[in-house]
Structure 1
Amino acid sequence: MWASVAVLCLAMAAANSQEIPKAPSMYYASGTISLPYAEIVEPYEAYIDGVGDRSRIDTYGGLASQYQLGHAPGPYGSISKVVYETTETVVNKRACLQVNGSAGGPVHFQPVLPRNLDQFVFTGEVQAGERFCTKTGLASSACNVFTYEASQLGRTNTYTLYLRQTTDFQPVAFHYLGFNRLFGSHYDEYVVTYERFVSHNSTSFPGKVFVPEALVAPCTGFPDNSASVTRPTGVFSRLHTMDEPDVDEIEKSFSDFKAKHGKVYTSDKEHFERSRIYRANHHYVESMNRRKLTYRMKLNHLADLTSGERRMMRGRKRSAESISPPGAQVFKPANANVQIPEAHDWRIAGAVTPVKDQAICGSCWSFSTTGAIESAYFLKYGKQVLLSQQNLMDCSWGYGNNACDGGLQYEAYEWIVKHAGIATAESYGPYLMQDGKCHKVRTPLVTIKSYAHTAPSNVSDAILALLQQPLAVSIDASHQSFGFYSHGVYYEPECGNQPMDLDHAVLAVGFGTLGGEDYWIVKNSWSTHWGNDGFVLMSRKDNNCGVATDATLVHL
């Protein structure tokens, strides 16, 4: 009996002392990068030459390629990105952007495996099909598990590598989990899978695989000189900085974000939660911008808000009745045979007032309503007027509106007609970003005679109406992609365009075409920090997101 126990103990000791196999310096890998909390699964292909200090990582089937060359073109190396650029004048033009390293920030290759595997210790094994030890093709053997933990300032970062139980080095998955012991929750997590892994030698890579100019030439500088060359970028940077778990580019970016937008948090716990949300959104925007989209995204002042807080800013009440409000007239174009121009922009004429900020309050319906009336006022009287959203929020409850908890434009129109006008922002008082008390003002009031709606979901009818004046419209803005729109033509394949899909009220101020993509020009009320100075170009294709579903205009 004692002999059996001794043998068992020796076997366990041998297993626990197992050393991690030596990884090749040159290899090809392909698989996915997933960020569970951000709902991102991003395919990648990687060509790694550790001997020559060079790497290339393609994502989304080559939609974006990043090269990190340690000795080219100069002694400090360079980072090059081959991407599809979308600007205000071109859509999806392939470009090579390059930034050179320096003595203080040299560039080195970016691995898709941890650089220093000597830090990992054997912690057990899992059977094929369990945990991250997936079955791929004929490879169905169990996996050995190797783990490295790094702790600093109350945080423990755990790095786990799963290797197939074979004679050669065959990685299956790499799991990273950042955990904050103080608050008892994780703040970052990702999984890298290796669905294919092949060792290489110096002659087995394709000849120009590390030459970005082979895809597009010439390589130029980054437009805003903002690219960092001091550290690798993206998820794989964690493989480079395991010995510095509390210092990374996202934390630096979060510090800049707080300073820029004056963010102040009430406690360490809130600061931690906001930084975690920011990190998730940072990963999301980076991943989305590597796709071949007709628009680009960027982090903005909303980047530390929860999805629930962002939802509070979409205050258009879902209602099937709003496409046929009881007091509305049916829009009839003055000239149905008018020649439709390629583009029209009411901002150029001065008919659009400045972008405002509704803050975290579902009052978008009041901004859409006042925006339509302000534009109609300019077109009739030749001068701008700023109307009071707070007046509508405080006083139109009897018509179905609920201030920060949502409303509809036509209910606001009905109230304005009944009460002989709406107050100016100056006469009523400032916008409070919350519910207030209704109070009357004597003058000045801006009155409307009536309002009209275009044919539901009829893009052509909405264009004819928009040629006359800006339109109050409703959209489906529920998708995360809309929250971080930057520029280009926004198209969201998951967007709804039925009346019950619409959850946000905005103002359509023009239309046009960019790179073959027809768009609406839409004014939002999320400040000039959002979108393109507060505006978004929304695709007209198939009435995406419902811009033409529920469009109204006012008559003064």
Structure 2
Amino acid sequence: MSYIFICLLATPITESQYWFKGTFSLPYANISQDIQIWFDKLGQREKISYFDDTVYSIWDFTTTKQYYSVLTYLPEGGDQSIPHCFQNPIMGVRNNLLEIFPDLTNWDIMPETKIMNKLVKHYRLNTVDEGRDTPPILKVDNFGSTRADQQDYFCIENGNYCDPVRWEIHGFNTIFGSHFDYYVLDINEFQRKNDFDAQIFQKPDLDCQKVEYNIKYMTNLWTFSLQSLQHKSSVRAQNMNLIQSHKSNVSNFTLKPNRFTDTSFVDFLNMFTGYNGQDLKDTQFEHRVPFITPQLDDSGVWFMNGSIKQLFPKNFDWRIKGGITPVRDQANCGSCWTFATAAAIESRINILYKDNKYKPLFQMSEQAIVDCIWTNDFSHGLGLHACLGGHAQGTMDRIIKDFKGKLPKLSEYPYIGQGMKCDKSVWNFEDVTLTSFSSTKQNSIGELKYALLSGPVAVSIQVTNKMTFYSGGIFDDIECTNDPKKLVHQVALVGWGYDDELQQQYWIIKNSWSNAWGVDGYIFISSNKNVDCGITLATAIPNLQRYK
């Protein structure tokens, strides 16, 4: 009789009480965030802090379920940023502590390696998911793609524990080879402890409001990625079935899996949109001026050029004409309004400077808007509130009011995907200033086309579940209607086109969901009023003055 002896390596104990300081990065979006976490599972307490308490959340479930969230922002008319407290968590799950480090029980042990000049243990977890339920909702043989996820966890052996050094999470589509997501958590300092200072988890010494409406926008990159891992299978199955069902029907547009496949539509709207201007129609803005046009056809066929009736061109695209900057990524922060504002302004500046081919493209900082343009009123869930949402109309008005139309450069104020203390000194670009803004008439394709002749326009749109996975064609989803109450997202309109085969006109939209989404970050939306997603309903045209 022969015996086979197997040496079993003990799995490290899952961390339950600790403090650490580290850096969370989203490399594809060039975003990096400093993070500290105090986690006490036995005591049912936790604090998650970003950038030395600029933004933080506290859970203390010792006796009663108490939770607080603090944001730092520049109040309207203020000189410096101040903290503001909510009785709502802005990161993680409301009724639960968010466990950070994984249970390594089912992970594979890889060869040791070096991370940051440290010899570390390497654990890996690979998962492959075709995005189907068992049995599948749709009776099909294959979804046409699978998703493979890989997590790599690096740590230094310490008795029965393994001190964390780095955790990488990334996934990709095995058929298309496209990027889904890639997150990196680097642990710079780590302490395993059970003697926490009780003050860490106490209520902040601030007047904490309870504002229910803003919970949906209050999340953060790392905590969102952890939650996605916990709930991805069921959500992915639903989304893959939606994509497959669409493939089974004749349509003018296509869908495919992308980095949002693990995100429910409700969560997606909460974290990747952010338009708060549904009730702005009758709002009086100090610096909004009427949009002056010649006589034109509201359906967008012709306009008067002097005494001559001139047809609008069949195709008009500022991407070809020049001045359009690369598509950027708002990440899971409800800051679409800042990207729409920046895209419209920076593109028009570049068009003004088109005569100087040696001047690099001007890029405006979205983060400066997130940090420095804030509305104090929280009573109605509207206004300008960093990752909680906002609108281009109010932003342009405040840029003129607060900064005399001067603008911030992206190179001096990079995007990090959350609200921070405002640095007013970077609002210093004055070769061109914003002097006013205008809006086109609702439902007038002609006015919107005429506005586009001088440069891109910030517009507001509805977002449907299918738009989340848009990959090409003319988007004419019957659920994407012309209803002002359903506007949830702001984007930059850069032109229009006409498809001769389909005999259909469409708008060319620059989005802020990275160039891995849609058609290199763009979507072509039908101009048919019934399925135009509300593009003509709420627009903002920046009016600029060039000095140099």
Normalising by the smaller structure, the TM-score range is: 0.5 to 0.7
| Contact 2:461–2:488 under 8 Å retained in 1 | yes
Instruction: Please report how far the alpha carbon of residue 339 of structure 1 lies from its aligned counterpart in structure 2 after TM superposition.
Output: 2.3
Task: Determine whether 1:545 maps to 2:533.
Answer: yes
Say whether residues 1:307 and 2:298 are aligned partners: no
Q: Which residue of 2 aligns with 1:378?
A: 350
Per-residue CA deviation, residues 20-52 of structure 1 (Å, 9 max, x unaligned), is: xxxxxxxxxxxxxxxxxxxxxxxxxxxxxxxxx
Partner in structure 2 of residue 431 of structure 1? 415
Are 2:228 and 2:262, in contact at CA under 8 Å, matched by a contact in 1?
no
Between 1:249-258 and 1:314-323, the stretch displaced more is 249-258
Q: Distance in 1 between matches of 2:524 and 2:293?
A: 24
> Structure 2 counterpart of 1:330, which letter?
P
Higher mean C-alpha deviation, range 403-412 or range 317-326: 317-326
Match of 1:401 in 2: 384
Equivalent position of 2:242 in the other structure = 284
Could you say what secondary structure the match of 1:398 adopts?
Answer: coil
Question: Could you tell me which residue of structure 1 aligns to residue 315 of structure 2?
Answer: 343
Spell out the pairing of 1:434-513 with structure 2 (5 A cutoff). Answer: 434-441=418-425, 443-445=428-430, 447-477=433-463, 479-513=464-498
Q: TM-score, normalised by structure 1?
A: 0.53
- CA distance 1:325–1:488, shift in 2 (3 Å): farther
* Residues 554 and 281 (structure 1), Cα distance of their counterparts in 2 relative to 1, 3 Å cut: same
Taking structure 1 as reference, are residues 268 and 321 closer, same or farther at Cα in structure 2, changes over 3 Å only?
A: closer
Q: Is residue 343–residue 511 contact of structure 1 (8 Å, CA) maintained in 2?
A: yes
Which one of 326, 344, 353 corresponds to residue 354 of structure 1? Answer: 326
Q: Which runs of 5+ in 1 are unaligned?
A: 1-152, 155-185, 193-233, 239-247
Shift of 1:447: 2.0
**Distance across 1 between alignment mates of 2:264 and 2:476:** 23
In the alignment, the residues of structure 2 paired with residue 318 and residue 410 of structure 1 have an alpha-carbon distance, to the nearest angstrom, of 8
Q: Distance between the aligned counterparts of 1:431 and 1:191, measured in 2?
A: 41
Hey, what's the Cα distance between the residues in 1 that align with 2:247 and 2:173? 23
Aligned partner of 1:433: which letter? G
What residue number does 1:414 align with? 397
Partner of 1:388: 365
What SS class does the counterpart of residue 329 from structure 1 fall into? coil
Give, in whole Å, the separation in 1 of the partners of 2:362 and 2:323. Answer: 10
**Which amino acid is the alignment partner of residue 497 of structure 1?**
N
Q: Say if 2:476 and 2:526, in contact at 8 Å, map to a contact too.
A: yes
Contact 2:439 2:541 in 1 (8 A): yes
Q: What is the DSSP-based 3-state SS (H/G/I as helix, E as strand, rest coil) of the residue aligned with 2:235?
A: helix
Contact 2:460 2:491 in 1 (8 A): yes
How many angstroms does 1:263 deviate by?
4.3
Q: 1:469 to 1:484 in 2, by over 3 A?
A: same
In structure 2, the CA distance between the partners of 1:488 and 1:323, relative to structure 1 (3 Å rule), is: farther
Indicate the residue corresponding to 2:289 in structure 1.
329
The 8 Å contact of residues 316 and 502 in structure 1, kept in 2 or not, is answered as yes
Deviations 1:511-538 (A, max 9, x none): 0111211100000000011100000000
Classify the secondary structure of the residue corresponding to 2:472: strand
Name whichever of 348-357 and 520-529 sits farther off.
348-357
Describe the shift of the 1:191–1:484 C-alpha distance in structure 2 as closer, same or farther (beyond 3 A): closer
Quote the residue 1:526 is aligned against: 513
Q: Are 2:166 and 1:257 aligned?
A: no
Q: In structure 2, give the amino acid aligned to 1:495.
A: C
Query: Is the 1:297–1:485 contact (alpha carbons within 8 Å) kept by the matching residues of 2?
Result: yes
Q: Going by fraction, where is strand more abundant, 1 or 2?
A: 2
Report the CA distance between 1:275 and its aligned residue: 3.0
CA distance in 2, matches of 1:521, 1:364: 17
Task: For 2:351, give the aligned amino acid.
Answer: L
Compare CA radii of gyration and give the structure with the larger one: 1
Alignment of 1:204-219 (within 5 A): none
- Checking the alignment, whether the CA contact within 8 Å between 2:316 and 2:497 is kept in structure 1 is yes
- d(CA) in 1 for partners of 2:517, 2:267: 16
Asked if 1:536 is matched to 2:536, the reply is no
Flag the structure with more relative contact order, 1 or 2, with Cα contacts below 8 A and sequence separation at least 6. Answer: 2
Aligned to 2:232: 274
Deviation at 1:497, TM superposition (A): 1.9
Q: Do the aligned partners of 1:298 and 1:484 also contact (CA within 8 Å) in 2?
A: yes
Q: Given residue 248 of structure 2, which amino acid in structure 1 is its aligned partner?
A: R
**SS in structure 2 opposite 1:454?**
coil
| Structure 2: gaps of 5 or more residues | 1-104, 107-130, 151-170, 184-221, 296-302, 305-309, 377-382
**Following TM superposition, by how much is the alpha carbon of 1:254 offset from its aligned partner in structure 2, in angstroms?**
5.8
| More off after superposition, 390-399 vs 331-340 | 331-340
Verify the 8 A CA contact 1:330 1:455 in the aligned structure 2: no
Structure 2 SS opposite 1:397 = coil
Q: Structure 1 stretch 545-554 or stretch 269-278: which is displaced more?
A: 269-278
AA matched with 2:481: G
Shift of residue 361, structure 1, vs aligned partner: 0.7
Distance 2:259 2:136 in 1: 28
Runs (4+) of structure 1 exceeding 4 A deviation are 189-192, 248-256, 262-270, 322-325
Q: Paired residue for 1:236, among 108, 130, 140?
A: 140
How far residue 498 of structure 1 moved from its aligned partner, in angstroms, is 2.9
Q: Tell me the CA shift for residue 370 of structure 1.
A: 0.6
